[in-house]
Structure 1
Amino acid sequence: MHTKIKSILIIGALLSLTTSCFQDESVSAPVKTNPVSDDPIDIYIQTNFIDKYGVAVRYRYVDRYVDQNKRVTPPKRELVEPMLDFLTDFWVDPFINVPNGRKFFEDYVPAEVIFIGSTIYNADGTVTLGTADAGARITLSEVNDIDITNKNWIFRQLGTIYHEFAHIMHQRNNLPPSWQEISPQGYTSLGSWYNLTDEEALQRGFVSPYGTSTFNEDFAEVVAFILYKPDFYERYINDEVGCTTSDCDLRNEGRAKLRRKYNAILSHYQQYVGVDLLEVRAIIQAKL
């Protein structure tokens, strides 16, 4: 499956951060090895990613990694290693340092991670921040904007990588039981989700408008939000007290559905891979 996440829909002068994914069943699993190289960056990747986890990181531009209808800029060479360190700090380490996490990460990590320097510009006026292909490849954009002091950039990257990693989980183990029954009337479609506001999505029982597009995207969005959103419980789980408006009541109704999704996800990870996502979240939050 080819999944595209974190798109920005540009409507006139307005630019709003969203998510978008699509399928491409033709993607085959790439080879997990790189040719021998004496390039310092290649040696760094070989030592820290290929040898340890069997994942190759591609930073040189190759057109087969990007749809021909999209426009991109390759990553700057001097920013590749800082981006690799960012992934180690916020993606690799949080998972491998919890019980059963190392095995989970090694078993589920995709064979390739692709770096793109810019956002990926689409023909329809949107931009793509990341993609996942059949559980075998994750593409990350905006590498040239790396700034570990910029929380907005950090959250966009974390939202992308955790969302795409969550897709691999449900591709291997399906969705939690009865997932489709929690908020069945709240879903939209891949072609209309961006008409919702964050508030409307919450009232329907979703963490984001894009989560309303499909069952799978709903799952991946909730997993990502659990891991990286500092205000996850305040915003999406804990009810507001003393509601005096219908909007407040509707938000709390949405939170009741999200609590069911939250519990279903935690149980799903524990059952299938033995990983406590709340322990992973604690490590991530301590780094932010």
Structure 2
Amino acid sequence: MKHIITKITPLLLTGTLLMTVGCYQRDEIDIEQRDTTPSTDELDIYIQQNFVKPYGVAVRYAYVDRYVDPSKRVTPPDRDNVIPMLKFLQSYWVDPFTQVPNGTTFFKKYVPSEVVFIGSTIYNADGTEILGTADAGARITLSRVNYIDTLDQQWMFLQLGTIYHEFAHVMHQNFKLPPNFQSISPQGYTSSGSWFVLTDEEALQRGFVSPYATSSFNEDFAETVAFILYYPNFYERYYNDEENCATLDCLARNEGRELIRQKYNAILAHYKQYTGVDLLEIRAIVQEKLSE
């Protein structure tokens, strides 16, 4: 079972700094100048050239406690893992979105301004794991960077599912959910504290691609987008009906697939209407990369 928790936190309101200006006999005021010398660090140069300059995305790889819930214990990524992780994101996230019509415009406008890397896993008290977060469209946080292994399908799918899921949150945060999305499977939702007791089979029969998708409308949207993009057997598992059903379980799965097809169509139309991006073209690029 894929355990993924997404926390949407509001942006902190920045207080206004009030400055009192007095009159002095000296007209000259000595102000310490901030050092603006560009970094000569190879890693910082790579980030500047490949993420900051073209997309305005700052990559945070050094541990800063404000990026993580203070109740969580985490470790930063090993330095040697940062560029390989960035290349992975470039290949499977940046390139697929920017290589399709209207994709570059969409990506540059809505990509979060920060990507934060966490080296370790992040666990909740209930035993579930936080794979990533999307903070009000401004920051995406990814964990498990120290486990990077592009030959490990499980690691690949966890990371792809996370980054596509979190980027999908940016979509509904800017354009809301498709108009009919919340009415497709209203009886199937659970809650943020009970979704993990469901099996994959039970989730499918309810019309969801994963147990976590049942936790809320927004998570359902993000999970479905992620599965459309990265899951190789999406159509076989979630879209196409099984033929010659002879059991109640089979019939229930097909009923769930009908609900997923409605969500699928609503999501594709939503992206196309508001961004001009065809998710299926992105899927085709991702799937070609996964098959190499």
**1:280 matched to 2:259:** no
In the TM superposition, residue 193 of structure 1 has moved relative to its aligned partner by 0.8
In structure 2, distance between residues paired with 1:250 and 1:126: 27
Correspondence for 1:69: 71
The DSSP-based 3-state class of the residue aligned with 1:25 is: coil
Correspondence for 1:85: 87
In structure 1, distance between residues paired with 2:165 and 2:12: 19
In structure 1, distance between residues paired with 2:93 and 2:195: 28
Give the alignment's TM-score, normalised by structure 1: 0.91
The DSSP-based 3-state class of the residue aligned with 1:147 is: coil
C-alpha distance after superposition, 1:39-69 (max 9, x if no partner): 1100000000000000000101111111110
Correspondence for 1:8: none
The DSSP-based 3-state class of the residue aligned with 1:103 is: helix
Correspondence for 1:220: 222
Q: 1:211 to 1:280 in 2, by over 3 A?
A: same
C-alpha distance after superposition, 1:169-212 (max 9, x if no partner): 00100100111110011111111111111101100100001111
Q: Runs of at least 4 residues of structure 1 off by over 4 A?
A: none
Correspondence for 1:235: 237
Percent of paired sites with the same residue: 68
In the TM superposition, residue 134 of structure 1 has moved relative to its aligned partner by 0.7
Contact map agreement 1:183 1:257 (CA 8 A) in 2: yes
In the TM superposition, residue 86 of structure 1 has moved relative to its aligned partner by 0.2
In structure 2, distance between residues paired with 1:132 and 1:44: 24
In structure 1, distance between residues paired with 2:215 and 2:13: 25
Contact map agreement 2:184 2:262 (CA 8 A) in 1: yes
In the TM superposition, residue 35 of structure 1 has moved relative to its aligned partner by 7.8
The DSSP-based 3-state class of the residue aligned with 2:131 is: strand
Correspondence for 2:6: 21
In the TM superposition, residue 21 of structure 1 has moved relative to its aligned partner by 2.2
In structure 2, distance between residues paired with 1:120 and 1:285: 28
Query: 1:246 is matched by which residue type in structure 2?
Result: L
Correspondence for 1:265: 267
Give the one of 185, 196, 199 matched to 1:197.
199
Give the one of 170, 173, 176 matched to 1:171.
173
Q: 1:28 to 1:211 in 2, by over 3 A?
A: farther
The DSSP-based 3-state class of the residue aligned with 2:7 is: coil
In the TM superposition, residue 159 of structure 1 has moved relative to its aligned partner by 0.4
- Map 1:40-189 onto structure 2 (within 5 A): 40-189=42-191
User: Please, which moves more after superposition, 65-74 or 236-245?
Assistant: 65-74
In the TM superposition, residue 130 of structure 1 has moved relative to its aligned partner by 1.0
Q: 1:232 to 1:132 in 2, by over 3 A?
A: same
In the TM superposition, residue 104 of structure 1 has moved relative to its aligned partner by 0.6
Correspondence for 1:250: 252
In structure 2, distance between residues paired with 1:206 and 1:36: 48
Q: 1:90 to 1:28 in 2, by over 3 A?
A: farther
Give the alignment's TM-score, normalised by structure 2: 0.89
Query: 1:282 is matched by which residue type in structure 2?
Result: A
Contact map agreement 1:27 1:133 (CA 8 A) in 2: no
In structure 2, distance between residues paired with 1:198 and 1:126: 15
The DSSP-based 3-state class of the residue aligned with 1:148 is: coil
Contact map agreement 1:210 1:218 (CA 8 A) in 2: yes
In structure 1, distance between residues paired with 2:151 and 2:261: 32
Gaps of 5+ in 2: 15-35
Contact map agreement 2:101 2:277 (CA 8 A) in 1: yes
Contact map agreement 1:27 1:134 (CA 8 A) in 2: no
